[in-house]
Amino acid sequence: MEPVIRITGLSKTYKSGFAALRNIDLEIRRGEIFALLGPNGAGKTTLISVICGIVNPTTGTVLADGHDIVRDYRASRSAIGLVPQELSTDAFETVWATVNFSRGLFGKPRDHALVEKILRDLSLWDKKDSKIMTLSGGMKRRVMIAKALSHEPSILFLDEPTAGVDVELRRDMWNLVRGLRERGTTIILTTHYIEEAEEMADRIGVISKGELILVEDKTQLMRKLGKKQLTLQLQAPLAAIPAELAGYPLELSADGQELVYTFDTQGEHTGIAGLLRRLTDHGIDFKDLHSSESSLEEIFVSLVRTNA
Amino acid sequence: MNLHAIRAIYRFEMARTGRTLMQSIASPVLSTSLYFIVFGAAIGSRMGEVDGVHYGAFIIPGLIMLTLLTESISNASFGIYLPKWSGTIYELLSAPVSWIEVVIGYVGAAATKSVILGLLILVTARFFVAYEIAHPFWMVGFLALTAVTFSLFGFIIGIWADGFEKLQVIPLMIVTPLTFLGGSFYSINMLPPLWQKIALFNPVVYLVSGFRWSFYGVSDVNAALSFGMTCAFLAVCLFAVWWIFRTGYKLRN
Ligand SMILES: Nc1ncnc2c1ncn2[C@@H]1O[C@H](COP(=O)(O)OP(=O)(O)OP(=O)(O)O)[C@@H](O)[C@H]1O
Ligand SMILES: [Mg+2]
C-alpha cells in the first residue's frame, strides 16, 4: 500500500548552523500509530514541524497523503492535523469560537454538529462558552486537540500529547487515539513515556541527534530485544556453576553471591519452575529472588547510548 | 482560494475588535473631539480661512488621516504580532492558506475597522463644525485606499517586530511626526519655500492633500498625483508581503 507519508533525504539545518535533522528517510503506513522516540533535542518536533509546514526543510522531500508538502501544500496540509508540544491558545476566545475558527482556516464549511461531537468526545462541551484563559492546562490541551481534529484530518500529529497530563486525561487520550485509529486516521505521536509507546504504537522510530537510528514493528522489536532476567541471591556463595546446571543460560556474579538466569519473554516455557526445582535438588539455597524485564525503555536507552 | 479561511480570519479579527470596543473606537473618537474643540472651536475661531476654507473645517481631513494612519498600523501590526507572540501562529503556518488569504483576512479586518473609525470621526466632526464633501465617491475611495495601504504596512511591521517596543517604535517615531508635518493642520503653502520642497518627500502630504481635495476641491498637490503615490506605496507593501511569505522571513525557520 502507498505510504501515507513518505520522507526522503530530509535534512534541516537551522539558521544558527545547527543540524537538527540529518538525511531522514521514513515511510508511515496508512492507518498506523507510529511512535517517535528520542531524547530531548533529538529533532522530533523539528521533523513534525517540517511535515506540517511550520519549518522549511533544508534538503529532501516529503509527500503527505500523496502530495508534496512544498509544491502542493494546500492538499497536503488539508490532510494533516497538528497538536503541538507547546500549549498555545488564544486567551480571550471561547472554546466554541476557536474550534470553529480552526475548521474554517483549514478550508472546511461550518459544521456545528461535528464540532459539538468533537467537544463532547473530549469532555469539553460544558466549557464551550468559556474563555480559554479560564481553563486548566489539561483542558487547554484538550482544546488544542479539538482544534486539530476540527477539519477531520486523515493524519494526526501529537507532539508529546501526555506531557504534564493527569492519569485520567492520559487514559482519555489513549482511548481517543484508539478510536481515531479505528476510523482509519494515521497517528504519529512523540512521547517520553516508553510505556505509552509500548501500549499504543504499531511501529516505533527512534531518533537521536537528528538521525533516525531505528524503525521497527513494536512487537518485533520487543521480541528481538525483549529479554527477562531472574536474579537469585544465594545463601552461600558458589565457586562455580555446578555442572548439572550447565544446560541453563546462567551467569554467576564475581563474588559468587548471585545467580542470573536470562530467558525469553516471548517463549512458551520460561523454564523457571524447572530451574528452581533443580536448584533445590542440588541443595543450592537462595534467600531472595527478583525478575526484571528489559523493557523498551532499556532497549531505547542502550540504543541511544550506542549512538552517542 | 480558501474562502473559508479568509472568513475565519476576518471574523476572528473583527471579534477581537469587538472585545476591545472601548479602546478601539471610543478613544480615537474622544481624542479627535478634543482636537476639534481646541483647534476647531477655540483657536480656529481666531484663525483666518485656509485656501478659502474655514480653519475648523480645513483640519477635518487631516485629523481623519491622522487617526486612520495610526489606527490602521497599530491594528494590523497587533493583529499579526499577537499570534506570533502567543505561539498560536503555528496554526496559520500549518493551514492550507496562501499569503493572499492571510493578508485579505488580517488586512481586510484592520482596514474595515479603520474605515468605520474614519466615518465615525467624520460624524463626530459634524457636532463641532460645518463642512461639505465635494467628491463623496473619492472621499470614500481615499479613505478605503489609505486604510488598506497602511493596514498592509502595519501587517509588515507586525511580522518584522520581535518585541512590543518594536511594534510601537515605527508608528511613534516615524508615522506620527510625518503626519503632523504632513499638513494635517496647515496647508504646506503656508511653509517657507524650502520647506515646501522638503515636504514633498513626505508621503503623508499626498494622502492628506488628496483627501482634502475630495472634501473641498482644493489641494496642495494634484489629486491624481496623490492617488498615484498612495497606489505606489500600496504596491511596495504588497511586494514586501509577497516576499515575506515566499522566504518565510521571521515566520518560518
Ligand atoms: N528555531 C531554532 N533555531 C535553532 N535551533 C533550533 C531551533 N528549534 C530547535 N532547535 C534545535 O534543534 C534541536 C532539535 O529540537 P527539537 O525541538 O526538534 O527536539 P525534540 O526532539 O522535539 O526535543 P524535546 O523532546 O525536548 O521536545 C535542538 O537541539 C534545538 O535546540
Ligand atoms: Mg519536541
All cell numbers assigned to A103: 475548521
Q: Mean pLDDT across chain A, nearest whole number?
A: 87
Domain C-terminal end among A201, A222, A243:
A222
Share in percent of chain B as helix, strand, coil (round to 5): 80, 0, 20
Q: Are residues A166 and A145 in the same domain?
A: yes
Cβ atoms A62, A68 nearer than 8 A:
yes
- The CA distance from A131 to the nearest CA of chain B, in Å, is 12
Q: Mean pLDDT across chain B, nearest whole number?
A: 87
Hey, which residues does A233 pair with through a beta bridge? A258, A288
Q: Are residues A252 and A178 in the same domain?
A: no
Hey, which residues does A61 pair with through a beta bridge? A8
> In the 8-state DSSP scheme, what is residue B2?
-
Question: Could you identify the atom of ligand 1 that is nearest to the CA of residue A192?
Answer: 25
Q: Which amino acid, B159?
A: I
Residue B253 lies in a domain: no
pLDDT tens track for B105-122? 999 999 999 999 999 889
A68 touches chain B (CB under 8 A): no
> C-alpha distances in angstroms, B237 versus A185, B107, B127, B150?
42, 12, 36, 9
Q: Are residues A124 and A244 in the same domain?
A: no
Question: A100: domain range?
Answer: 5-222
Q: Does A42 sit in the ligand 1 pocket, CB within 6 Å? A: yes
Residue B252 lies in a domain: no
pLDDT tens track for A148-165? 999 999 999 999 988 777
Interface test with B, best of A92, A103, A105 (most B CBs within 10 A): A105
Residue A214 lies in a domain: yes
- The best mutation among A44, A160, A194 to test binding of ligand 1, ranked by most ligand atoms within 8 Å of the C-beta, falls on A44
* Residue, of B60 and A271, whose pLDDT is higher: B60
Task: Report the alpha-carbon distance of residue A169 to residue A147 in Å, rounded.
Answer: 17
Q: How far is the CA of A156 from the centre of ligand 1 (A)?
A: 20
Task: Report the alpha-carbon distance of residue B8 to residue A250 in Å, rounded.
Answer: 67
DSSP per-residue string spanning A85-139: SS----SSSBHHHHHHHHHHHTTPPP-HHHHHHHHHHTT-GGGTTSBGGGS-HHH
Number of separate domains in chain B: 1
CATH code of A209's domain: 3.40.50.300
Backbone angles phi, psi at A26, to 5 degrees: -160, 140
- Residues with Cβ < 8 Å from B116, sequence gap 6 or more? B25
The H or E element containing residue A75 is: helix A73-78
Residue B113 lies in a domain: yes
> In the 8-state DSSP scheme, what is residue B153?
H
pLDDT tens track for B58-105? 888 888 988 899 889 989 999 999 999 999 999 999 999 988 899 999
* CB-CB under 8 Å, B96 with A77: yes
CB-based contacts of B187-193 (< 8 A; 24+ apart in sequence): B187/B50, B187/B51, B187/B58, B187/B220, B188/B220, B189/B51, B189/B220, B190/B50
Q: How far is the CA of A210 from the centre of ligand 1 (A)?
A: 9
The predicted pLDDT at position A295 comes to 59
> In the 8-state DSSP scheme, what is residue A157?
E
Residues from chain B that touch A132, judged by Cβ atoms under 8 A, are: none
Q: Whose CA is nearest to atom 7 of ligand 1?
A: A14
Task: Report the alpha-carbon distance of residue B105 to residue B89 in Å, rounded.
Answer: 14
Three-class SS state of B63: helix
Q: Are residues A207 and A256 in the same domain?
A: no
The predicted pLDDT at position A277 comes to 84
> Looking at the predicted structure, is the pLDDT value of residue B31 above 60?
yes
Q: Are residues A206 and A271 in the same domain?
A: no
* CB-CB under 8 Å, A78 with B4: no
B133: how many CB neighbours lie within 10 A of its CB?
Answer: 16
Residue A303 lies in a domain: no
Of B7, B90, B98, nearest to A104 by CB-CB distance is B7
ipTM of the assembly? 0.86
- The CA distance from B57 to the nearest CA of chain A, in Å, is 41
Residue A182 lies in a domain: yes
Q: Does A100 sit in the ligand 1 pocket, CB within 6 Å? A: no
> In the 8-state DSSP scheme, what is residue B23?
I
The predicted pLDDT at position A109 comes to 95
Burial of B151 (0-12, 13-18, 19+ CB in 10 A): buried
Domain C-terminal end among A183, A201, A222:
A222
pLDDT tens track for A112-126? 999 999 999 888 999
> Looking at the predicted structure, is the pLDDT value of residue A267 above 70?
no
Task: Report the alpha-carbon distance of residue A131 to residue A140 in Å, rounded.
Answer: 10
Residue A31 lies in a domain: yes
